[in-house]
Amino acid sequence: MKTFSIGGVHPNDNKISADAAIHDFDIPKVAYISMAQHLGAPAEPIVAVGDKVKVGQQIAKPSGFISAPVHSSVSGTVKAIDTIKDLAGNPCKAVIIDVEGDEWLETIDRSEKIESEIKLEPKEIVAKIAECGVVGLGGATFPTNVKLSPPPGKKAEFLIINGAECEPYLTSDYRLLIEKSEEVIIGAAIMMKALGVTKGFIGIEENKPEAIKKLSAIAPKYAGIEVVTLKKKYPQGGEKQLIKAVTGREVPSKGLPIDTGSVVQNVGTAFAVYEAVQKNKPLFEGIMTVTGDCSSAQKNFRHRVGTPMSEIMAACGGVPEDAAKVISGGPMMGKAMANLDAPTLKGTSSILYLTAEQTKRKEESNCIRCGKCVSACPMGLEPYLLNKLGRAGRMDDLEAHFVYDCIECGCCSYSCPAYIPLLDTIRLSKQRVMGIIRARAAKK
């Protein structure tokens, strides 16, 4: 059983929704489709108020190299192109569509037949993925076509599919692995062809035995694909940690996965690639978990992008009385929702309810230099020192101590017996240092 070698923690995985099969959530009456659904530049609308659109129709074009098109998840009439508030309460542009029926583009193959033959050539695969607006569904929502196009001088040797789902509570990837096993593997094979690699790994943590069993039975049918069982350990799903666990190679400081010959993609991304290339289906649906110890609803839904989160919550019995925070994502790296009416995005992975007891910050005391944060840091950093330097505003020293390598996993804060909010200070310090580095580079 494999894992990464430095740091990490072992929170209770709390996969209480693991037995909840994926169900289609109802189509909303009004869809609010954000133009900022991916890392990079927001998309630009190409429709006008009053236009009729179908499911799968492109409604926005990419506005830069790091950008992606956006497609309608519903059919109906464009009601407005306006500014709405996202989960954090920040303004973003959206195409608002009044839903009328459910008319799909005729070019989308809606059959359940599994298409295993990959007919497109590598460049055609990358173009199709770009055309269908596929982005990484592991959290960062980086445009997948860009990730499958290594820069000059860099060559991929492996594709790694991230099935770790190491965040507590989340089970959408697990259900997808079980229910769409072969499609995920074919998606991996498609990306291997696009990259020109002959070896692919699907890393799955040991707490998902059914998924490991199902994929291990199917993988031998597809050349070069191997299922790797990983030890349950957070943050196993971090790209750098997953590469170390699976290949033994280490991403260098300031480096990228491609520097180790690796390209990492999420399980959900592999399925989206399958649907795009084999079914001509753009990415306009996502799989999300609704969960929490205080919630009576334990669900996994396939949702249309642009569905108001409040509608999903209402359908699951509303916000539980005991919930003090509603999180989008997992408890370690997720973000508290400031706006419960915000719409779902391509990368929306969960609605997680946490109680006051689970979210209460205990009173901070003095650092006793126990070193637990150092032992827990999967990047081999010294969080107690970075916190001290950050609070003192010593940017040069922060850079010298590699603050930019922090992956913001929260292991340091989780392990601190003095309850010091280490990650809060380190995250802000990292942003400032990265700004200084970018400004310095711009002057050259």
- CB 47, CB 71: distance < 8 Å: no
| Degrees, nearest 5: CA angle 173-15-142 | 30
Packing angle of the helix pair 172-179, 209-218 (nearest 10 deg): 40
- CB 125, CB 277: distance < 8 Å: yes
Q: Which tokens in the block code for residue 335?
A: 């973000």
Residues 6 or more apart whose Cβ sits within 8 Å of residue 189: 118, 200, 222, 223, 225
- CB 309, CB 342: distance < 8 Å: yes
DSSP conformation class of 101: S
Predicted confidence pLDDT, tens digits, the chain (444 residues):
999 999 999 999 999 999 999 999 999 999 999 999 999 999 999 999 999 999 999 999 999 889 999 999 999 999 999 999 999 999 999 999 999 999 999 999 999 999 999 999 999 999 999 999 999 998 889 999 999 999 999 999 999 999 999 999 999 999 999 999 999 999 999 999 999 999 999 999 999 999 999 999 999 999 999 999 999 999 999 999 999 999 999 999 999 999 999 999 999 999 999 999 999 999 999 999 999 999 999 999 999 999 999 999 999 999 999 999 999 999 999 999 999 999 999 999 999 999 999 999 999 999 999 999 999 999 999 999 999 999 999 999 999 999 999 999 999 999 999 999 999 999 999 999 999 999 998 887
Q: Which tokens in the block code for residue 428?
A: 């802000």
End-to-end CA, the chain:
47
- pLDDT digits 0-9 by tens, 364-380: 999 999 999 999 999 99
pTM (two decimals)? 0.96
Residue 382 burial class via C-beta count within 10 angstroms: exposed 0-12, middle 13-18, buried 19 and up: middle
Number of separate helices (H) and strands (E) present in the chain: 14, 17
- pLDDT digits 0-9 by tens, 89-105: 999 999 999 999 999 99
Q: Report the residue count for the chain.
A: 444
The backbone torsions φ and ψ at residue 26, rounded to the nearest 5 degrees and listed phi first, read -60, 145
Euclidean distance between CA atoms 334 and 171, whole angstroms: 14
- CB 24, CB 312: distance < 8 Å: no
